[in-house]
Chains A and B, each alone.
Chain A
Amino acid sequence: MTPYDERTWGADMDLFLQRLFDALTNGSTYALIAVAMVLIFKATTLINFAQGEQAMLGAFIVLQLWKWGIPMWGAVVIGMVFSGILAACLERTFIRKFDPADHLPLVIITLGLFLVINAVAAIIWRFDPLSFPQLFPSGRAVTIGNARLSWYSIFAFGSCLLVLFVLQTLLTKTKIGLAFRAVSSNLESSRLCGIKIGQTLQFGWALAAAAGTLGASIYAANPVLQIEPTIMLRALIFSITAAALGGLDSLWGALIGGLTIGFVQSVVVQYIPFIPNEMTLAAAVVVLLIVLTFRPSGFLGTKTVERV
């Protein structure tokens, strides 16, 4: 086998393309959860460790609604609304009374929510994997050599862009969106401008949960996956890393971060011989470590991240 063997080269190229397509698929779903985390971080400088579980619960509700005969996209919308309302209630009951500057109680509360939501979902739906309705047309859209880009990947990426555009519009063109950005920019001045802080943050939580539910639904709709209560555990770490990579407070940063993590996972790790396949998680944690240590503001974040 010489380096100039064309057939091998072609196969290598196919493999590379296929991995690139995988990167796009995974990256898009990570980005959707990362966007949810970014929304909450922007407003409260809080990382919601329960974000993934809230999204998972939302996706299960979507599944349940679909099983009851509601058309799937209708089920997705109702599921998003439901998890939005749930998140607003969670914010009101558990989050608002704490001082946002004191991180430990908030971390603990979101970890508690993580456990509770996970357990509730497992009690209701058990740990058995269930198949999720197809949200997108099945089959391949583009075939290059042996590399296949499925419709699913295209739609997953497309939905990710769509969500970002919708959020962007919501935050820049509506009054509550403007209030939300004002609160994340300067809390005290927002109060002095007559903005009701609690309600605005509640709106942020609802928005984040809705986006997360869409993300988890799309993730679970991946033809190679099934839905189970632990589905978001792994995805959560990738998503957190994606969010941190993008800068934690930048929506578009979350997309770039998600795609980068997808790329690292599906492409980079595959080409470094001494890193075993299962180490993609490690790669993500190492990326997280490097970003937080050397460039806490990530790709696109504002440079106010806490430092000693």
Chain B
Amino acid sequence: MWVSLVLFFLLVAFAYVDVGSIAIGSNKYNLSLIRLNKAIAYSVAILGLQVVVGYTGQIALGQSFFFGTGAYISAWLVADYSWPFLLTLVIVIPSCFLIGMILGLPALRIRGLYLALLTLGLAALFPTIVKLDSLYKYTGGAGGKLTTNKITGSQYKFAPPSWLPLDEIAQALQKIPLLGGYFGDGPLSNREESRMWKFILFSLVASLCFWLISNLIKSKPGRAMRAVRDNETSAAVSGVNLAMTKTISFGIASALGGIGGMIYVAEVGIASPDDFSSLVAIYLIVGLVVGGVGTLSGAVIGGLVYALIPDWASSTQSISFVPQRWLQGPTGSLILGLLLIVLTLFMPGGISTAAKKVKNRFVTIQSRANEE
């Protein structure tokens, strides 16, 4: 299962490193690795939401706060101290974990709607914090923080290690009859190689996060979280430490948000305040709900939806019978909002649960057919 997933990822990497767009009518839709890297970033952040909302049942919605915190810390270390991106996680993870735990402390007293209120307030606060004059040195104010190295003035480069024969693989794939065309033409350029290496690295980081969380969920602390979600009183009576469980789940969620932020800023190259507004917090919730609250695979689906749908919606500049003026508006936001409502009304488990149901039905039909 995991092996096939990794192989799939690699194939995607080779296929979409360069071309990555499909045209339908006169509209062009990007599929490039840039989008997919963003999707990975969002997926990890949504995974954090899964932990705190999906598994612990705390309506904490301000994930953009930690997404931004991770992005800014990472950008700052890379630009000002010439750290490599992955190494910044050494700082990003503990600091986001701590901030999350501290900001989660009020949640020990506040819950339900009030927590939703407060966390969305925090999310709204983030852009104003990083725009503060006193933090300008570190955050770059309203203009944002470039990840360009301060001293050398160059971008951090994701160079694949020399032992990895990316070029050879690409060429080999191109030789496959019929399908070869999908994998581009000729040797990979430096830019393509580095983009691909980025994608591979980020996929690895994300897979590691997903693997760790899936183990956590099955472990004792994970059971404690679900107990808190299902019934706090009975969880407390059965010896679950409510305060500890909640605080830790806030910490983990925030750390994941920070990791997502690191990936995001490594892809985009700049951390700018408006990329981490409360609207982003809401979009991440869309990702959570669309994929399915309380499912790990839902986080992947959610990340893809968030990375692709608004982008595709704004790429759609002409549909017959729809005035062009309408298509120029925030159609992505409209679609995400509608998805949120429609899924909550008709498919409360999200896409991932619905897919499981379809699969189960298929499997039962199959087995019944076999029995007969």
Interface residues of A (CB under 8 A from B): 45-47, 49, 94, 97, 103-105, 107-109, 111-120, 122-124, 126, 233, 237, 240-241, 244, 276, 278-279, 281-282, 284-285, 288-289, 292-293, 296, 305-308
Q: Can you list 11 residue pairs at the A/B interface with Cβ under 8 Å?
A: A118-B333, A122-B330, A126-B329, A233-B278, A278-B131, A285-B125, A288-B121, A289-B106, A292-B117, A306-B113, A308-B232
Inter-chain CA distance A107–B57, complex, in Å, is 13
Q: A112-B337, A123-B326, A289-B118 are in contact. List 10 more A-B contacts (CB 8 A).
A: A103-B116, A109-B344, A112-B286, A117-B337, A119-B329, A276-B132, A281-B125, A292-B110, A305-B114, A308-B108
Q: A103 is contacted by which of B59, B282, B331 (Cβ under 8 Å)?
A: B59
Complex alpha-carbon distance, A107 and B334, angstroms:
17
Interface size class of B (residues with CB under 8 A): 35 or more
Chain B residues with CB under 8 Å of A117's CB are 337
Alpha-carbon separation in the docked complex, A104 to B349 (Å): 13
Q: Complex: how many Å from CA A109 to CA B109?
A: 25
Is the CB–CB distance between A111 and B285 below 8 Å?
A: yes
Query: Which residues does chain B contribute within 8 Å of A292, judged by CB atoms?
Result: 106, 109-110, 114, 117-118
| Pairwise interchain contact B337-A282, C-beta atoms closer than 8 A | no
Residue B304 CB within 8 A of the other chain = no
B interface majority secondary structure: helix
Contacts of B232 in A (CB 8 A): 308
Chain A residues lying within 8 Å of B59, measured Cβ to Cβ, are 103-104, 107
The chain B residue sitting closest to A277, CB to CB, is B133
Which A residues lie within 8 Å of B118 (CB)?
Answer: 285, 288-289, 292
Of the candidates B111, B114, B339, the one having the most CB atoms from chain A within 10 angstroms of its own CB is B114
User: Does B299 belong to the interface (CB within 8 Å)?
Assistant: no
Inter-chain contact A281/B128, CB cutoff 8 Å? yes
Enumerate chain B residues within 8 angstroms of A97, measured Cβ to Cβ.
345
Contact A116 B110 (CB under 8 A): no
CB within 8 Å for A111 and B282 given contacts A116-B337, A119-B337, A305-B114: yes
- Nearest-CB distance from A292 to chain B (Å)? 5
Which of A108, A109, A233, A279 is packed against the most chain B CB atoms within 10 Å? A108
* Binary contact readout B328-346 vs A (1 if CB under 8 angstroms, 0 otherwise): 0111011011111100110
> 3 smallest A-B Cβ distances: which pairs?
A115-B337, A123-B329, A112-B340
B293 within 8 A of partner (CB): yes
CB within 8 Å for A116 and B341 given contacts A103-B112, A285-B122: yes
* Alpha-carbon distance between A58 and B304 when the two chains are bound, in angstroms: 34
Query: How close is A95's CB to chain B, nearest CB, in angstroms?
Result: 10
B41 sits at the interface (CB 8 A): no
Most chain B beta-carbon neighbours within 10 Å: one of A45, A46, A285, A305: A285
Instruction: Identify the closest chain A residue to B58 (Cβ).
Output: A104
Whether the Cβ atoms of A115 and B121 lie closer than 8 Å is no
B204 within 8 A of A: no
Whether B53 sits at the interface, judged by CB under 8 Å, is yes
CA of A288 to CA of B63 in the docked complex: distance in angstroms? 18
Contact with A along B17-50 (1 / 0, CB 8 A): 0000000000000000000000000000000000
In whole angstroms, how far apart are the Cα atoms of A117 and B57 in the complex? 27
Contact A116/B334 with A103-B113, A278-B131, A307-B109 known, Cβ cut-off 8 Å: yes
The answer to whether A308 touches B113 (Cβ under 8 A) is no
Q: CA of A46 to CA of B112 in the docked complex: distance in angstroms?
A: 10
Residues of A within 8 A of B285 (CB): 108, 111
Q: Contact partner of B121 among A103, A107, A119, A237, CB < 8 A? A: A237
Residue of A nearest to B342 (CB): A112
Q: Indicate whether B242 reaches chain A with its CB closer than 8 angstroms.
A: yes
Q: Are B282 and A282 in contact (CB under 8 A)?
A: no
CB proximity of A129 to chain B, nearest CB, Å: 16
Residues of A within 8 A of B329 (CB): 119, 122-124, 126
Query: Would B337 and A113 count as touching, CB distance under 8 A?
Result: yes
Contact digits for B125-166, partner A, Cβ 8 Å, 1 yes 0 no: 100110111100000000000000000000000000000000
- Asked if B252 is at the interface of the complex by the 8 Å CB criterion, the answer is no
Q: Once the chains bind, are B128 and A288 in contact (CB under 8 Å)?
A: no
